[in-house]
Structure 1
Amino acid sequence: MTDTADSALRADPALRLPAAVLWDMDGTLLDSEPIWEIAMTGLAARHGMAMTPQLRESTLGNSLPDALAKLHDAAGIPPEDRDPDADGRWTLDRVTELFDEGLPWRPGALEALDLVAGAGIPMALVTNTVREAAEVALETIGRHRFATTVCGDEVAVGKPAPDPYLRAAELLGFSTAQCLAVEDSPTGAAAATAAGCPTLVVPSAAAVPTGGLRTFRTSLVDLARDDLASAWAGLRGAVRMA
């Protein structure tokens, strides 16, 4: 079968497979949310406050500017006294330092990537992490796996806005309705479904609300081709296919 014919067949609703899979990174492919927690906890301490579980959960999957704004709000720092550039630089340096020490995979994630690649389905990485840190993480994940990558600092508005997913689908040449997103956080799931992507949700550090365009698994362990098919085809009828 030619590549063109295979691509057409994958996009055929009768075959019940997505044309592309769009992967979140932190908490979905990599168990990197604890690393972000270390950095954000350190930043909170620099501002004389403790990182509460509630504050940490509220920042999961956020873009760096959004996470910093929530921390500044919680610390009661007046807007005129905030320095998001300096705090962002400190946080990014700390995260990159920790990324360099090693990044663990989420259970089943590496095998899930291999499954999708083996099915000939193109993939994109869609993350709120800025490009500088994502490039370090891609050394672990393997940048060769992805047809394109979209980072949080490369779109006008990061997740939970739909912009990152809209951009990834555009770069791949598909409508979002033809793609399956894989997400772990409330913020990421909100972005994917707002973009019109059927979304496979595998929660990690926080519960994700149920909703339209979402199907759930407890883990990526033992993910099979039929699971991809049911996650995408079972939801695609809720959006208009391009």
Structure 2
Amino acid sequence: MSGPHAAPLAGAFPSGTFGGVLFDMDGTLINSLAAVVRSWMQWCEEFGIDPEDLKGSHGRTSANTIAVVMADRSEAERREAHRRITEIEVADTDDIVVLPGAREAFEELDRLGIPHAIVTSCDRELAEARIGASGLPRPQVVVTASDVSHGKPGPEPYERGAALLGLEPGACIVVEDAPAGLVSGRAASAGALVAVLGTTPVEVLARDADVVLESVADIPWPTLVTPTVP
């Protein structure tokens, strides 16, 4: 069963209510997996990287991934590799669709008066391209890898997202599909960590999340959020 009354796959919702929501994008709100795989496979071929080296990189910034898989290359080569993957990914927005519950979540949060943001590991140009391609309504606050000094799994992305909503991280729910993002939310001291299934098994997500759900469609918003009174 899926929907607001579906039982969690693991864990439980924390007690209390929260004043804001910080959403990861790829794998949480939109399905861009086909485009991601195509882009990175092309990149691996161009730069002589074994695709197996990319395992575990979901949720991290492209710069962080490149720093790991090209650790033996020069700084100039890594900069060129980052420029190139951005170019490839921005050009490939085919098959990108909104995931179940994402559009409805934004509509419900707007109705409830709850500020919400996208906090993504994509660079600004790529994030805007994917939001546009998916047709997902764009929230006022979108934090990208271009907006922070250190991306996920560090705390800065979610700290910045909360600050731009005018809230402390502890007043916010983080919604993620990747361990790197959950670690980022935990490091930022987010009030609740909600994981949804994407590319990571339930048991792995449960290590860092408070609760694991099938999708964003399963989040019972009215019981979890309440507007913050100034």
Normalising by structure 2, what TM-score? 0.81
**Per residue, is there more helix in 1 or in 2?**
1
Number of equivalenced pairs: 207
* Displaced runs of 4 or more, over 3 A: none
- What amino acid is aligned across from residue 199 of structure 1 in structure 2? L
Q: Is the alpha carbon distance of 1:80 and 1:94 closer, same or farther for their aligned partners in structure 2, counting shifts above 3 Å?
A: closer
* Equivalent pair of 1:115/1:224 in contact (CA under 8 Å): no
For residues 111-135 of structure 1, what are the alpha-carbon distances to aligned partners after superposition, in whole Å with 9 as ceiling and x for unaligned? 2222222222111111110001111
**What is the distance in 2 between the residues matched to 1:216 and 1:159?**
19
Equivalent residue, structure 1, for 2:67: 69
Gaps of 5+ in 2: 1-14
1:224 and 2:220 are equivalent in the alignment: yes
Q: In structure 2, which of residues 111, 122, 136 is the aligned counterpart of residue 141 of structure 1?
A: 136
* 3-state SS of paired residue (1:124): strand
Alignment match, 1:10: none
Aligned pair partner of 1:90 in 64, 84, 87: 84
CA contact (8 A) 1:57 1:205 kept: no
Structure 1 residue aligned with 2:25: 25
Cα RMSD of the aligned pairs, angstroms, is: 2.3
Larger Rg belongs to = 1
What's the % identity of the aligned pairs? Answer: 26
Residue of structure 1 in register with 2:37 after alignment = 37
Deviations 1:168-227 (A, max 9, x none): 11111111111111000011111011111111111311233434662111222343335x
Q: Is the CA contact (8 Å cut-off) linking 1:184 and 1:204 kept in structure 2?
A: yes
TM-score w.r.t. the length of structure 1 is 0.77
> Distance between the aligned counterparts of 2:56 and 2:154, measured in 1?
15
Moved more, 210-219 or 55-64: 210-219
Kept in 1: contact 2:61–2:145 (CA 8 A): yes
Judge conservation of contact 2:29–2:102 (CA < 8 Å) in 1.
yes
Whether the 8 Å contact between 1:21 and 1:180 is mirrored in structure 2 is yes
Partner of residue 183, structure 2: 190
User: Contact 1:193/1:214 (CA < 8 Å) preserved in 2?
Assistant: no
